[in-house]
Homo-oligomer: A and B are copies of this chain.
Amino acid sequence: MSAETPPPDVSPADGASPPRRASAGPHRSKASSEAILDAAEALLAEAGYGGFSIEQVARRAGAGKPTIYRWWPSKAALLLDVYARQKLQLDQDDTGALETDLAALIGGLWRFWRETAAGGAFRSIIAEAQSDPAAMAALNGFMAERRHHIAGAFERAARRGELADDIDLDAVIDIISGYAWSRLLTGRIDDDPAAIAHAARQIARGVVRPGWALT
């Protein structure tokens, strides 16, 4: 979403009050789009999904509404970019066992959601998807990406010989994602290592080869 040729930005002295960015020619203004994303992120943090409106974002960014609509066709698209801007750095360290890998995965995801604007954005995107088909499509895209993350842990487990033969990876991924989502959506992505460990163990147990020694 929102790909452009970033021209050199010369815009001087932007800061406190809206600096009245002029056009940078027939190219997307990086200063504008960043101001918009910044404003969106801040607004989401302060007012939550309920207080998130294109109107407010424009006001805070010192941008025109048409500029926002030019690049983000919907509220969902803007939220998506806010989410994507947060760099998810899930440490995919190999902990040596699937169970602990899963716990690390969930713990890292929740920390990411908690400590950046991503959690609020993602909740909002899910909410938006319930009325906007485009947001729904984007959401399913996220699912695919998440699948990739989770699958890594399972590949390592498979190499260890840890996995049962007949597991259904799709189902397991839905289970893991669903757990993470539902806790997000009900405001319970607290930092509780014990709870995460319990859930990871339950999930992992359903998947490991019978007789495999759990740590």
Contacts and interface: CB of A to CB of B under 8 A. Distances in A.
A42 interface: no
A146 to B, nearest CB: 10
A30 B183 CA distance: 37
Counting every copy of the chain, the complex holds 4
Interface in A150-174: 164, 167-168, 170-172, 174
A50 B128 CA distance: 9
Contact of A2 (B131, B134, B182): B131
Given A1-B75, A177-B182, A207-B206, A199 B130 contact: no
A204 interface: yes
3 closest Cβ pairs, A-B complex: A50-B131, A206-B206, A4-B50
Interface of A: 1-5, 47-51, 53, 74-76, 123-124, 126-132, 134-136, 139-140, 143, 164, 167-168, 170-172, 174-175, 177-183, 185-187, 195, 198-199, 201-207, 210-211
11 contacts: A1-B128, A2-B131, A5-B47, A123-B130, A136-B186, A171-B202, A174-B179, A174-B183, A178-B179, A203-B206, A210-B210
